[in-house]
Amino acid sequence: MIMKRIVTIIAVVVAVVTSATAGTAAAEPELPPCQGNPQRSDVVLEFSEGEWAFLYRLIWCVEENQITWAVPDVVPVLPDSSDCSWTGTHEESLEAIPGGGSWLGFAMGRFSCPNGAEAPDDYPWGIIHVRPDGTSAIQAQGTA
């Protein structure tokens, strides 16, 4: 079971990196200008084996030791054999943490899977903390 899960995770990452199948992965969002190189957070990965995967990260800019902007990057992945569909980002927020210069980002997506399940919709989500020193941490993640 562990090996099957590892293979699934690797397949999802390969699909995202190569964008092998049209419509399975989105391009990086358009970014505002930044004096340096924008930072990229750790990636939240939630998935339902064989049905869908949800990847979420933040991209942010640091200028003069301050975060000047942050942009969420949500990537839904659907295997060719999936009956599910991506219905979009259900909820999203970005906010500066008072006094510290850090920001918190939240994103929740929605997949609709008409497979006769009691709850046909899945809502994967993640919370990411980004800092002006270029580091990040996944605070929490899950699927509702």
Q: What is the span of the domain harbouring residue 110?
A: 37-143
Asked if residue 118 is part of any domain, the answer here is: yes
Q: What average pLDDT does the chain have?
A: 84
Asked if residue 86 is part of any domain, the answer here is: yes
Number of domains in the chain: 1
Is this model's pTM higher than 0.85 or not?
no
Asked if residue 71 is part of any domain, the answer here is: yes
Cβ atoms 115, 83 nearer than 8 A: yes
Asked if residue 78 is part of any domain, the answer here is: yes
pLDDT at residue 14 in the model: 39
pLDDT tens for residues 11-70? 444 344 333 333 445 578 999 999 999 999 999 999 999 999 999 999 999 999 999 999
Asked if residue 28 is part of any domain, the answer here is: no
Asked if residue 17 is part of any domain, the answer here is: no
Asked if residue 24 is part of any domain, the answer here is: no
